[in-house]
Structure 1
């Protein structure tokens, strides 16, 4: 006789779990509180639908915080495995210039979602919409729409705390905490970071990008670009430093990042270009010889003293390591993702709740962190596929 599995939530982790469960062993029902599946999945696709990243899996694993937690799942269902599986359901992919992986041109996010849902339909997976989880009854059975659900296994894929418009508001956190399951408050990740800009700088540079830079924090370096906003800085060059910035903010109520405006040049290269230039005006040297943008030059000019700005040695050092102080993160609802949720000590290596046998937590609702660029979606997919493998073998 088939065993019953209730999957609560219908984001990527839930959908991949359902896709890989053996229909000969399990009757699978997904319960979704919204009227449709994958709302956050679709919203994420509006900014450039990046499914995963193509880098070597051993380097890929190092992008996560903590590194060890997702390793087994990522090795069990790698970025290449994800691409191959997508191809089998009619979603061919390609690697972009950034090494990120996208659906082939012309394939929209809704088509990817529909291909997955079609597969689930063919496997007999039932999806019940407008079904909201609110807790457990006295026998630890999940309560959905005020009714106890009889199931052999329950898998929660309730998402994090960002993008409330999609229904991913993290309201479930208190429900788990009441069961004395270890939880961590949600914090913003992959978000804008607040900087108290000099008024003269922000007035003339708001909205401009800092391209081809590298930003470091706690000796971790992230290359890319960042956009100057009235609030502070945002973009891939700073998103990847979220764990380090949050750590400093937590300890010191502020964090210091360092910008390398010319990561492809050494300090000696920069000093030489400044001192041997035929141009006499410092700003012209920076523009003509070093190809710095107007906003980069303005940062140096406004934030450095005149003596430092006109000293070739000191100026070169600041071009390679320009300090900026961060005073806060953006609000959680404006973040791309969150950390926090179910504490790692609360679940086994197979994502089973230690205090509630046969109940599992996967995806972004668990306390791990990843940068943008395909890593978030890949981890959700991998945890779903990994749990399916575990249940197929042991259920």
Structure 2
């Protein structure tokens, strides 16, 4: 009696969203799947994102959505078209986690955290037969092409899978598992890697001692930022050595590139974007009636103490003429001199260029090795775009594996009703 042929084996290096969604697809297709991760548990950065509610994706019109990926849009578009925001929502709800659209258009789980989703997902993967090898640090390949890991007891572990998906993340928040050391391992194989740089990060600015000591951690609410002709409304936070926050992150790539070119970039803050400059001039033309400058600005212009402090940072002798003062309030200049460190950035730019990969995200120099997630050279603003592309590229890499192994496409469904292992 002949024995049944063993299933093809797939190794997934990295237990973040890209690696886990790839494991799900391959597990459904009947492969023997092992996820390797250097941390004691998987999904740590996903759980960190859950502290902010877990912004899964965004509800805006698709053309606007894909435009957020800038230079990477041509390569990411077909991958995201194959796994759209509505598909991500349906997948999430298939795990028992309903989603909703927030006032900004961002999409979150109703429970507003990541842990229930991750628990349900890991249970599904276990039902699919996916195995996890934790505390395994990837060391590259040996001379025979086997994957090398250092295991939890310091032992060397060698693995020779039929296909490999690398999904080790970028280099932001390395304490959560993605430290970017893979870049050197790929370079040893002759694979180009664009330098890893911070994305969606804060910027440095030389505050005065008064500003730093009195207003560190203070939020700047309902402001608008302008840089190179583009304006974004939102919020920011004053830090000890600069500024960060959602509105700042929207400009992170532009500001970072400008600083790299010129050693500085000047961002303009509108402290009252809800008022026209003409309306502000009218308010500032009212008699001061003996009020101090701070009291007058608070009452007539509706400025907060931190907003008034920003005005004084830009112009210690505040303009007395209403037009000039209104102009300053509408465009406070802030000269930024550097980026916050990569290890504190929300995400990272750089990585494996798409030119190193085929249409299935397989390395041209290394057949059978695929790359997904934040290891790829793309970046996007916060707002759901990061996780959407991470999921879409993980799914695409898994489909690439199935195509290379000539496994039929009918095994690709992510329908939760088919959460049993193919035999």
TM-score by length of 1: 0.92
The equivalences for 1:286-305 within 5 A come to: 286-304=297-315
Please list every run of 5 or more consecutive structure 2 residues that lacks an aligned counterpart in the other structure.
151-155, 406-423
Please list every run of 5 or more consecutive structure 1 residues that lacks an aligned counterpart in the other structure.
none
The equivalences for 1:292-371 within 5 A come to: 292-304=303-315, 306=317, 309-371=319-381
Secondary structure at the residue paired with 2:71?
Answer: coil
Q: Deviations over 1:69-121 (max 9, x none)?
A: 3222222211111111111111111222333222223x642221111111112
RMSD after superposition: 2.2
Look up the match of 1:75: 81
Post-superposition shift, 1:361? 0.9
The equivalences for 1:72-221 within 5 A come to: 72-105=78-111, 108-145=113-150, 146-221=156-231
Match of residue 50, structure 2, among 45, 53, 59: 45
Alignment CA distance shift 1:43-1:302 (3 Å): closer
Alignment CA distance shift 1:32-1:203 (3 Å): closer
Alignment CA distance shift 1:22-1:394 (3 Å): farther
TM-score by length of 2: 0.86
CA contact (8 A) 1:65 1:243 kept: no
- The number of residues matched between the two structures is 392
Alignment CA distance shift 1:350-1:313 (3 Å): farther
CA contact (8 A) 1:300 1:309 kept: no
Report which of the two structures shows the higher radius of gyration computed on alpha carbons.
2
Aligned equivalents of 1:204, 1:132: Cα separation in 2: 44
CA contact (8 A) 2:297 2:308 kept: yes
Post-superposition shift, 1:176? 0.8
My pick for the range that moved more, 239-248 or 266-275, is 266-275
Post-superposition shift, 1:233? 0.6
Post-superposition shift, 1:337? 1.5
Structure 2 residue 66 is matched with structure 1 residue 61: yes
Aligned equivalents of 1:261, 1:108: Cα separation in 2: 32
CA contact (8 A) 1:182 1:345 kept: no
Q: Deviations over 1:25-48 (max 9, x none)?
A: 532221122221112211222233
Alignment CA distance shift 1:359-1:267 (3 Å): same
Structure 2 residue 390 is matched with structure 1 residue 380: yes
My pick for the range that moved more, 220-229 or 112-121, is 220-229
Aligned equivalents of 1:53, 1:184: Cα separation in 2: 28
Match of residue 13, structure 1, among 7, 10, 18: 18
My pick for the range that moved more, 153-162 or 199-208, is 199-208
Post-superposition shift, 1:177? 1.0
Post-superposition shift, 1:240? 1.6
Post-superposition shift, 1:7? 0.8
